[in-house]
Structure 1
Amino acid sequence: MKIEQIYTGCLAQGAYYITSNGEAAIIDPLREVEPYLKRIAKDRVKLKYIFETHFHADFVSGHVDLQRKTGASIVYGPNAACEFDCISAKDGEEFTLGNVVVKVLHTPGHTLESTTFLLKDESGKGHCIFSGDTLFLGDVGRPDLAQKAASMTQEELAGLLYESLMNKIMPLADDVIVYPAHGAGSACGKNMMKETVDTLGNQKKVNYALNQPNKVAFIKAITDGLLPPPAYFGLNVAMNKKGYESFDTVLHKGMKALTPDEFEAVAESTLALILDTRSNQDFYKGFIPQSVNIGLDGDFAPWVGALIVDVKQPLLLVTDEGKEEETVTRLSRVGFDNILGHIKGGFAAWLASGKEADTVDRISAEQFAQHVKIGADKIIDVRKETEYAAEHIEEAYNKPLAYINDWIKDINPEEHFFIHCAGGYRSMMAASILQARGYRNFTEIAGGFAAISKTDLPKTDFVCQSKIMQV
């Protein structure tokens, strides 16, 4: 028996590859399936099962493409209504894989079909659980994503999750290994550990959710402080339930190279959004007008999903040369399949063609410290509320980037303001969106709060509610 965790950092997502005696299974695969097919061919095994812990909201799974290419059976837990060929297994049902067995533990609460898969080794002993979004390391799955589909409140779903954990997970042996679907950085939980593997015994000791005195306390603890889920979550669930266009087709379309003239013509005729994935250090110096900057070297896919609310939005790409395929792949993971192509030669080709370019007004933290007048000048901090609360510039307003589509309408286009984040990644996204929508009355700060904190500007952890501009 061999178990391999395939962890994707930008999504904080864990897929799992299991082999035993010539047979293989994959749990919660990513959208692009070629890496799995290569593993299967190298190991000379047959893919028998594709186990899905639930209908994922934060990414599009590779289950449908894997089934098309291998003939393997897709297995969900109870209550899974797929619009493709799948097995909706019964609670307690067992699936033989080589010399091991995978047992279905129905653990509703995160969603109604949420299931934990218990792997029994060759001796029949419980070896590990693939807990999906039921149990994370340090946390449990959020209970607010399936409210509409389940016709239940988040408190009712949290109650279901409590029963699942107490009755199905906690009785398992302490030496059982926990393999979760996500780690720190995922929007599917709020208190996840940076580790990606642990023992159940340790989780029984350190996981706050597993140590609540009763069901009422558990419900309050896990529902307190939940942030609104990104808009694309529901659309990803629909794709995972209904199926989707083959990734091969999406990649083929996205890899279409366009000349500057062709790129411009497509942009004008389709109302496509121009997505520039270069670093913020390169973007601010020059970019195609109306472009939105979301840097590939960061939490790219989740930010695309948070800021571009419609997964069907036509996209045209500007990337560093050689990064086109990676960009299309990472977009497809969160369901953004309507990619019309990319500019051949990148932004340099656009400039060489003599076409118009735009820039962002960016200054250094030192220049900012020299010119800003605290209390008179407006400063907008686009970090998370928790980051802002820990420390911020005195008199700065907090408008988290995740909610820019809501708060942008409150910006006075006649009033100048300074904008910053932690290091420049998020504030440049905000700057690009502001300029794409006609706002040019701002200056962005290079290096963000990390650089600003090294200046003599006054900083505080005092939180004035009027300065936290919640939306």
Structure 2
Amino acid sequence: MKIEQIYTGCLAQGAYYIESKGEVAIIDPLREVTPYIKKADQDKAKIKYIFETHFHADFVSGHVTLSKLTGAPIIYGPTATPTFDAVVAEDNQVFQLGEITITALHTPGHTMESTTYLLKDKTGKDYAIFSGDTLFLGDVGRPDLAQKATNMTQEDLAGLLFDSLRNKIMPLADDVIVYPAHGAGSACGKNLSKQTVGVLGEQKKTNYALRANMTKDEFIKEVTDGLLPPPQYFPLNVKMNKEGYDDIEDVIERGTKPLTPKEFETIATNTGAVVLDVRHQDEFIKGHIPRSIFIGIDGGFAPWVGALIADVNQPILLVADTGREEETIIRLSRVGFDNTLGYLEGGFEAWKNEGFEYDTISSISAKNLKEELQKENLPIFDVRKEGEFASEHVENAHHTPLDYLNDYLTEFPENKPFYVHCAGGYRSVIAASILKSRGIHNLVDISGGFAAIKDAGIPVTNYVCPSTLK
């Protein structure tokens, strides 16, 4: 028996490859499925099953394409209603894989079809669970994402999740290995561990949601407390996972169309496409196409695209470093953005060399900012997340989190310079690009972000004025 976790850091997502006696099961595959097929070929094995723990919201799974290429059936848990051919398993239905078995345990709560897959070894011993978004290390799946689809409240779903955990998962032995669908950084939970594999006994001891003496009312209150609104692209990804999508090879072929600067400009004008610049933030600051949006490929790329562009059908034109165009298109497709129209051949330098207009972002070092602050009280805007801001922030700073930046546009000064920062410099440049695309140009990026601010000795505080939090 072989179990391999295939973890994708930018999505904080774990897919699984399981092989026994020449038969393979894939759980929650990514959109690009060739690696799974190659892995099975190397093992001289055949992909027999494709298991989906639920209709994912934060990424587009590769189940449809993988089934098409291999003939393996797609398996969902009870109550799932995909529009394509799939096996909708019964609760406790057993699937034989070589010398081992995989049992579908219906565990609703995160979504109604959410299912945990229990792997038993060749002796019949419970060996591992693939818990999807039902159980994470350190947390459980948020119960608010499926409300509209089920006509239930988040409290109703949380109650179901409590029962699923108590009746299906917690009775399992402490040495059962837990393989979740996500780790820290995912928006599918609140307090996920950085670890991506654990054991159930440790979770029973340390996971707040698995406390033995916890009442259902306590569970509902704690699991629903502090939930932020989900990213707008989540329902669109659910729709794609439920109804199907284009093969990724077709998406890549459409998107990897080289465009001259003139062609690029014409298409941008005629289609209303978003110009997405994925270079490093330092390069974007020095020069970029006017009104383009920066989301660097080497940061938390895909989730930020989903959160800030939101509409997966939005036409996109790419500005990327040479050789990274296809990688970018693949990573866009992982969160459902399949409508890339092409890329700027030769990158930003080609645009600049052709004499087209370009823009820059003003920047200041933390050391120079400290000197300026000693002269006058300057408006500083912090675009980090609420928890980061609450932990520590510049005295008198305004909190305008990047996730919801469009809700704060009226708070930025119209006629005088203001200063923007995040933790290290990535998110503040995203924010700056969005503000400039909205016609707000009087901003200055604080180079190096909050880390540089602290190093420079600029006064910080952890006091949070309630009126600054929304």
- The interval holding the TM-score normalised by the smaller chain is over 0.9
Task: Determine the structure 2 residue equivalent to 1:227.
Answer: 228
Q: Which amino acid aligns with 1:331?
A: L
Task: Determine the structure 1 residue equivalent to 2:263.
Answer: 262
Task: Determine the structure 2 residue equivalent to 1:109.
Answer: 109
Shift of 1:409: 3.9
**Shift in alpha-carbon separation, 1:418–1:374, aligned structure 2, 3 A:** farther
Secondary structure at the aligned position of 1:229 is classed as coil
Does 1:176 find its partner at 2:173? Answer: no
Identity %: 62
Distance 1:436 1:20 in 2: 53
Task: Determine the structure 2 residue equivalent to 1:445.
Answer: 446
Distance 1:373 1:243 in 2: 58
Distance 2:392 2:308 in 1: 25
Secondary structure at the aligned position of 2:187 is classed as coil
Distance 1:275 1:469 in 2: 30
Task: Determine the structure 1 residue equivalent to 2:148.
Answer: 148
Shift of 1:456: 2.8
Task: Determine the structure 2 residue equivalent to 1:17.
Answer: 17
Distance 1:132 1:430 in 2: 32
**Shift in alpha-carbon separation, 1:16–1:374, aligned structure 2, 3 A:** farther
Secondary structure at the aligned position of 2:60 is classed as coil
Task: Determine the structure 2 residue equivalent to 1:459.
Answer: 460
Q: Is the 8 A contact 1:375 1:395 kept in 2?
A: no
Distance 1:373 1:415 in 2: 18
Aligned pair count reads 469
Distance 1:373 1:102 in 2: 65
Distance 2:426 2:216 in 1: 41
Q: Which amino acid aligns with 1:329?
A: I
Map of 1:68-217 to 2, 5 A cutoff?
68-211=68-211, 213-217=214-218
Unaligned runs of 5+ in 2: none
Q: Which amino acid aligns with 2:339?
A: N
Q: Which amino acid aligns with 2:224?
A: T
Secondary structure at the aligned position of 1:49 is classed as strand
**Shift in alpha-carbon separation, 1:452–1:116, aligned structure 2, 3 A:** same
1:33-80 residue CA offsets vs partner (Å, 9 max, x unmatched) = 111111121111111110000000000000000011111100000010
Shift of 1:261: 1.2
1:3-36 residue CA offsets vs partner (Å, 9 max, x unmatched) = 0000000100000001111111100000111111
Shift of 1:290: 1.1
Tell which deviates more after alignment, 13-22 or 350-359: 350-359
Secondary structure at the aligned position of 1:131 is classed as strand
Q: Is the 8 A contact 1:363 1:444 kept in 2?
A: yes
Shift of 1:373: 5.4
Distance 1:408 1:317 in 2: 26
1:344-403 residue CA offsets vs partner (Å, 9 max, x unmatched) = 111111111111111001111111111135873211100111111111111101110000
Unaligned runs of 5+ in 1: none
Q: Is the 8 A contact 2:386 2:469 kept in 1?
A: no
Does 1:327 find its partner at 2:328? Answer: yes
1:415-446 residue CA offsets vs partner (Å, 9 max, x unmatched) = 43111111110000000011111111111111
Task: Determine the structure 1 residue equivalent to 2:60.
Answer: 60
Given the two structures, how large is their TM-score scaled by the length of structure 2?
Answer: 0.98
Secondary structure at the aligned position of 1:155 is classed as helix
Distance 1:260 1:43 in 2: 47
Q: Is the 8 A contact 1:374 1:395 kept in 2?
A: no
Does 1:422 find its partner at 2:426? Answer: no
Task: Determine the structure 1 residue equivalent to 2:244.
Answer: 243
Q: Which amino acid aligns with 2:174?
A: D
Given the two structures, how large is their TM-score scaled by the length of structure 1?
Answer: 0.98
Secondary structure at the aligned position of 1:188 is classed as coil
Q: Is the 8 A contact 1:374 1:394 kept in 2?
A: no
Q: Which amino acid aligns with 1:200?
A: L
Task: Determine the structure 1 residue equivalent to 2:350.
Answer: 349
Tell which deviates more after alignment, 93-102 or 403-412: 403-412
Q: Is the 8 A contact 2:136 2:183 kept in 1?
A: yes
Q: Is the 8 A contact 1:307 1:405 kept in 2?
A: no
1:147-180 residue CA offsets vs partner (Å, 9 max, x unmatched) = 1111110011000000000000011111110000
**Shift in alpha-carbon separation, 1:96–1:426, aligned structure 2, 3 A:** same
Distance 2:95 2:15 in 1: 19
Q: Is the 8 A contact 2:316 2:339 kept in 1?
A: yes
Task: Determine the structure 1 residue equivalent to 2:368.
Answer: 367
Task: Determine the structure 2 residue equivalent to 1:283.
Answer: 284
Secondary structure at the aligned position of 1:141 is classed as coil
Q: Which amino acid aligns with 2:252?
A: L
Distance 1:459 1:130 in 2: 43
Q: Which amino acid aligns with 2:351?
A: W
Q: Is the 8 A contact 2:53 2:131 kept in 1?
A: yes
Secondary structure at the aligned position of 2:11 is classed as coil
Task: Determine the structure 1 residue equivalent to 2:311.
Answer: 310
Q: Which amino acid aligns with 1:7?
A: Y
Secondary structure at the aligned position of 2:123 is classed as coil
**Please, what is the CA RMSD of the aligned residues?**
1.1
Secondary structure at the aligned position of 2:210 is classed as helix
Distance 2:376 2:229 in 1: 31
Secondary structure at the aligned position of 1:462 is classed as coil
Q: Which amino acid aligns with 2:192?
A: M
1:433-466 residue CA offsets vs partner (Å, 9 max, x unmatched) = 1111111111111100100111232211111223
**Shift in alpha-carbon separation, 1:444–1:172, aligned structure 2, 3 A:** same
Tell which deviates more after alignment, 207-216 or 143-152: 207-216
Q: Is the 8 A contact 2:22 2:98 kept in 1?
A: yes
Shift of 1:406: 1.7
Does 1:404 find its partner at 2:405? Answer: yes
Task: Determine the structure 2 residue equivalent to 1:218.
Answer: 219
Shift of 1:469: 4.6
Distance 1:424 1:408 in 2: 20
1:81-120 residue CA offsets vs partner (Å, 9 max, x unmatched) = 0010001100010111111111010000000000000011
Q: Which amino acid aligns with 1:397?
A: H
Q: Which amino acid aligns with 1:20?
A: S
Distance 2:285 2:334 in 1: 27
Distance 1:370 1:252 in 2: 52
Tell which deviates more after alignment, 232-241 or 412-421: 412-421
Distance 1:438 1:93 in 2: 57
Does 1:377 find its partner at 2:378? Answer: yes
Secondary structure at the aligned position of 1:372 is classed as helix
1:301-333 residue CA offsets vs partner (Å, 9 max, x unmatched) = 000001002111000000111111110111000
